[in-house]
Structure 1
Amino acid sequence: MSTWLSINGLAVLLLTVLLAAAVFAGTVWVWPRLTGRGVRPVLGRAGLQLAVTLTMGVPLLLAVNSSYGFYSSWRDLLSLQREEPAPAGTDPAGRDGLLVRSTHSWRHGGSDDPAVIGRIEAVTVRGPRSGLSAQAYVYLPPQYLNATAQRRAEFPVVLALSGFPSTTRVLIDLFRYPQVALDAVREGKMRPAVLVLTTPTVAPPRDTECVDVPGGPRVETFFAEDLRAATAAHYGLTRDPRGWGVMGNSVGGYCALKLALRKPEAYRAAAGLSASYEAARDADTGDLFGGDASRRRENDLLWRLRNLPQPPVSLLVASSRRGEHQYPQTLEFIEAVRPPARISSIVLASGGHNYETWGREVPPALVWLVGRLAPGDGGS
C-alpha cells in the first residue's frame, strides 16, 4: 500500500474528516424527523449520536497515532504481519544471545532481492548481564551479505532507538531507516552500515529512560553491554566502540546521547533528535533512581557536561526554532560541550515533536553518524 494511503497517510486522515463532516451534516438534516417519544425516534437519535461520536473520534485517533506511532501500518493494527522462516545457517538456540525469528519482507527501488537491497532480520536479543530481552530488527546491507568474515568486522554499526510510547516497526515503516541507508550509500553519501533497530522500552510498560533502576530493570547495561555483545558475536561485527554509534528520537534521543556520554567504551558517537536532556519523572517512569539525588544528577546530561570530564565522543543534536519545547535546552547543551567531546547540530526553522519532523532529520543524522564511525581492527 502506498504511503499516501497508509495508516499515517494524509489521504486517510482527510477521508475520515470528510466522513465525519458528512455524518454530522446528515444528523443535523435528519434530526427534526426523529422527534417524539416512540421506540423508533429514540433508537434513531441514539444511532445518530453514536455515528457522530465514532466518525469524529477516528480522525483524532489517527492524528494521535501519527504523532506517537502506536501502529505503523494497517497490518500492524490488524495483527496481520507474516513472519517467514529464519534463513539457513542461523542459530536456532540463540546461544550467542541473539535469536533470528524471521526475515522481514520488504522492497525498495522495485527490487526485493537481498543481494540488491540487503536483508532485514527480526531478532530477539537476550542479555545475560541485565537479565532483559528485547525484539529488534537488524538491517544487513548487500555489501555485508557479500563480504568475507574479516571484512564484516570492519562495518560500522548503528543502534537506532524509537521514542516512548512507540514500537520498533515505526523505524522501518515511518522513518524507513533501511531505505534511507540504502539510498545514502547509492548516492555516495555514506558507507554501508549494519543497523540495529529497536525501542528503548525493553521493560514494558515502564518508561525506564535507559536507566539501570535500583532493584529494577538494568536497561543501560542491556544497551551498553548485552545488545552489543550479542549482535557482534552473531554477525561477526566489530566490538570496537569507535565502530558503534547510537541515535534516536525523543526518549530514544535522550538514551542515545546519554549512552555516549556515560558509556564511551560502548558508543563513541550519538545523535539525539528532539532529545530531552534529563530523565522524566512521571507515572510511566516511577522512581528511576531509588530516591538518590546523585544518581539523578548523573543522568542529567547538562549537569554532566558542566560538572564532569567529557569523554572523546561525537554528538549531534537536532531541534527546531519554532515548535520544539526543548529548543532552549538544546542551545544550552551545544554551548556546554567541550573538547575532547565534539558537537554538531541540525536546527530546523520549524517543526513539532512528531514523526514528520523526525522524518526530515533522520537522513542527515544517519549520514553524519556513520561518517563518525571508524572501527579499528575489530578488537574490543
Structure 2
Amino acid sequence: MGLTSNKMLALAVLSAVLLFVGTVWLWPRLARRSWRTVCGRVGLLFATQTALFAAVGLVANQSFGFYASWADLFGRETGQGVVVDHAGGAAGGPLRVVETRRVQTAGGTRPESGGQIQKIEIVGRTTRIATPAYVYLPPEYFQDRHRTRRFPAAVVLTGYPGTAEALVDKLRYPRTALELARDGRMQPMILVMLRPTVAPPRDTECVDVPDGGPKTESFFARDLPEAVGAHYRTGKQRGSWGIIGNSTGGYCALKLAMHHPEVYAAGAGLSAYYDAPTDATTGDLFHGDVELRRRADLWWTLRHRPAPDTSLLVTSSRSGESNYRDTREFIERVKATGRTRISSIILESGGHNFNTWRREIPPTLRWISGRLSA
C-alpha cells in the first residue's frame, strides 16, 4: 500500500483504535510487579503510541502533501532526476502524455464540457532535466469553435518537498480554474502543475547550480515553456505566460518573473520568502560564486538591478505567517522601483498550510488571468 493511499490511512487508524481498546482491556492483567507484566505494559503503550503517531502523520501527509511515497519519505526516491540524453530531441524538448483524467466537478465527463488533466513527462532540451507534471486544459481547448485558438498558460509550483498531485487534488487548481472561467471571472487558461524539486530529493531553490549541478532556473525559464508550447496551443508572444507557487514555489515564482520578465509577465508568490536558504536539503547551491548568491537574493536584485517589467503578487497574513513583515517590506521596495507592478493579498489570519492557500488561489487565478493574453 502506498504512503498516500486511503487504505494505508484506514489501516493505521484501525490499528490505533484496536491497540487502545486492547490496552484498556488487558491493563488489569498486567498490573502485577513482575518483569513480564512490566514488559507487557511498556510494549502495549509503545505500540499504541506508535500507531497513533503513524495515523496522525499519515493524515498530515495527505493534507499537506509532504511526501509522495515511502521512498520519498526515507530519502530513497528512485524517480527521475537530472538526465543526460545524447540522442537529442525534437524542437522544444520531448514531452510525452502518459495519462489523462477529467476534472472533478459538475458539468459532464467529456473534455469539451469539463476540460481535461493530462499527466506528462518532460525532458528539457538544453538542461536535460527530466520531471513529471500535470497539465490542465480548459473545455474551450477541445471545442471545435476554438480549434485554432491559443491560450495563456501559467506554471504552478508546489513547496518543498511537495507533490504535483497535491496541486490537483488538495489545492484544486484545475477545478477552481474551471469554475472561475464558467462564471466569467477569469479567462480559460492552461495550467502546468509540478514541483520545483526537479532533482529529488535535493531542494535546488530554482538555482542554476554550478559545477555540474542541475540548471533548475534555466529549465523553468527556457525548457519548460518551449516543451509545453511545442505540444500545446499556448500563446507565442510576450505576455502569454505567468507563474504561481506556494512557499518554496512562491519564492521561485517571484524570482523567475523578476529574472525573466520576457518569459513570465506575472508571478505570484503565496507565503513566499525572498532569499534562497542554504541548509541540509539544499546543499551547496553556489559553490563560492558570489554573483550567483546575490542573484538568488530578491532584496539584492531590487537594490542593484534594473526594475523588471513584470507584475508580482505576494500573499501573507497578519497572524499565523512568519513572512508578514518581510512581505510588507517587499511591497514597499517594489513600489519604490516605479516600474515593477506589485499587488498583495493580506489575510487577517492564516497559517503556512493548504487551507490558507485554498483561500488565496481563486483571487490569485483571477489576478494572473487579467495580466496574461494569448
Q: TM-score, normalized by length of structure 1?
A: 0.83
Per mean C-alpha deviation after superposition, the further-off stretch among 58-67 and 250-259 is 58-67
**Candidates 190, 194, 201, aligned match of 2:197:** 201
Partner of residue 308 from structure 1, selected from 305, 308, 311: 305
Give secondary structure in 1 for the equivalent of 2:264.
Answer: coil
- Which whole-Å CA distance do the structure 2 matches of 1:147 and 1:196 have between them? 23
Letter in 1 for 2:227: A
Structure 1: 4+ residue segments shifted above 6 A? none
How far off its partner does 1:101 sit?
1.0
Query: Which stretch shifts more, 122-131 or 60-69?
Result: 60-69
Going from structure 1 to structure 2, the CA distance change for 1:277 and 1:66 (only over 3 Å counts) comes to farther
Q: Is structure 2 residue 115 aligned with structure 1 residue 118?
A: yes
Q: Measure the CA separation in 2 of the matches of 1:147 and 1:314.
A: 33
Change in CA separation of 1:147 and 1:301 when aligned onto 2, cut-off 3 Å = farther
Q: Secondary structure at the match of 1:103?
A: strand
1:94, distance to aligned residue in structure 2 (A): 7.2
Provide the residue aligned with 2:45 in structure 1. 49
Contact 1:313 1:341 in 2 (8 A): yes
Q: Is the 8 A contact 2:102 2:115 kept in 1?
A: no
Query: How many pairs does the alignment contain?
Result: 345
User: What's the CA shift for 1:309?
Assistant: 1.0
Give the corresponding residue for 1:161.
157
1:52 Cα offset (Å): 1.4
Once the two structures are TM-superposed, the CA of residue 188 in structure 1 deviates from its matched residue by 0.9
How many Å apart are 1:20 and its aligned residue?
5.3
- 2:198 is paired with a residue of what secondary structure? coil
Q: Aligned residue for 2:271?
A: 274
Q: Match for 1:132: what amino acid? A: I
Q: By how many angstroms is 1:317 displaced?
A: 0.3
How many angstroms apart in 2 are the aligned matches of 1:94 and 1:273? 35
- 1:208 and 1:252, CA in 2 relative to 1: closer, same or farther beyond 3 A? same
SS of residue matched to 2:164: coil
Query: How does 1:200-239 map onto structure 2 within 5 Å?
Result: 200-215=196-211, 216-239=213-236
Whether contact under 8 Å (1:270, 1:314) holds in the other structure is yes
Deviations 1:276-324 (A, max 9, x none): 1010110010111111222211111122112211111010001111111
Give the one of 323, 326, 331 matched to 1:326: 323
- Identical-residue share of aligned pairs (%): 50
Amino acid at match of 1:345: S
**CA drift at 1:27:** 2.9
Residue 186 (str. 1) matches residue 182 (str. 2): yes
Contact 2:174–2:191 (8 Å) recurs in 1 = yes
8 A Cα contact 1:66 1:355, kept in partner: no
Q: TM-score, normalised by structure 2?
A: 0.84
Structure 1 CA distance for aligned equivalents of residues 279 and 272 of structure 2: 17
Residue identity in the other structure for 1:169: E
Distance (whole Å) between structure 2 residues aligned to residue 363 and residue 36 of structure 1: 62
- Who is 2:169 aligned against? 173
Structure 2: state its 5+ residue gaps: 74-88
- Could you tell me which residue of structure 1 aligns to residue 65 of structure 2? 69
Distance in 2 (CA, whole Å) between partners of 1:61 and 1:315 is 35
The answer to whether the 8 Å contact 1:72/1:170 transfers is no
